[in-house]
Amino acid sequence: MPKHSQHRRRGRNALDADDLEWLGNAPETLDGPPEGDRWSTWDQSTPTEKGPRPHPDWLVTELAAVDTEHGILKTGKEADVHLISRGVPGTDRVCLLAAKRYRSSEHRLFHRDSGYLEGRRTRDDRMNRAMAGRTAFGKQAIAAQWAVAEFSALCRLWELGVPVPYPVQIVGTEILQEFVGTADGYAAPRLAQVAEGLDGLWEQLVAAMVTLAGEGLAHGDLSPYNLLVQDGRLVVIDLPQIVDVIAHPSGPSFLDRDARNVATWFAAKGVAAADPDGLAALLRKEAGLSL
């Protein structure tokens, strides 16, 4: 048989004996990490897509680091939170991170989604129409907006001294942030699960909400389920829907709702200082809004 016919029978992408011998001696993964599930994504984020400087000492930023998945911490309508460890193989340099991954085409929208999205229009009319029509492309754009909004909020609040997890980086629709929990991977309990030290936790929460209001912001969906308690310290989480209460036409109502949600819970637990109306009035005053 002519040589060119043999090549046609083998196919354009067929392997010859030399190829097979090389593959047999090659490492199992040609470009993958020596262990773990992926190389660290630290170098995939630009400086503006990384957390505020100085970066904490515990954070592993070496390019030789790898990320290892340890399962899901929380599932939600819009995103799932995964526990990962980032470490340098062969060393004791390792840290735990919470990876919040927003869904795209299958994205299920936040309750009251249209209210949160108001004021987040882009300069691209095609994208605005897609987002309004909730097309697959529009949902992907919305997911990206939520991720960027949450990462930006975490960075801003961290620099203000509000107790939030340190925002490590954002890569597409994945936010990597400080894991709030124990060194062996147990997440800190939510406020809703805590029964002790509530007076002190109330004081911490009021201070955090006052700081937010002073910046013209409201969490937008605050409740005992998106507040963590680590060794007596309150930590605010889940911030994609943070609201500019000055610019948003319904801004004051977001302040009022946050105040009502948390103060009612604390009052029901016996915290005498917890007063929904009093907290709402305080927050409006700090934000410079009329009652």
Which residues are marked as active site? Answer: 221, 238
Closest CA to 73 of 83, 63, 65: 83
Lookup: tokens for 283 = 């927050």
Could you write out the DSSP letters of every residue in 19-74?
Answer: HHHHHHHS-S-SSS-SSSSEE--GGGS-GGGBPPSSPPTT----TT-EEEEEEEEE
Neighbours of 22 (CB within 10 A): 10
For residues 106 and 76, is the Cβ–Cβ distance under 8 A? no
Report the alpha-carbon distance of residue 21 to residue 11 in Å, rounded: 19
Would residue 172 be called left, alpha or beta, if left means φ above 0 and alpha means ψ between -120 and 50 degrees? left
CA distances for 38 relative to 67, 68, 84, angstroms: 5, 7, 11
Secondary structure (3-state) at 172: coil
Residues contacting residue 190 through CB under 8 Å, at least 6 positions apart: 224, 225, 226, 227, 228, 229
Report the alpha-carbon distance of residue 177 to residue 36 in Å, rounded: 19
Secondary structure (3-state) at 253: helix
Secondary structure (3-state) at 259: helix
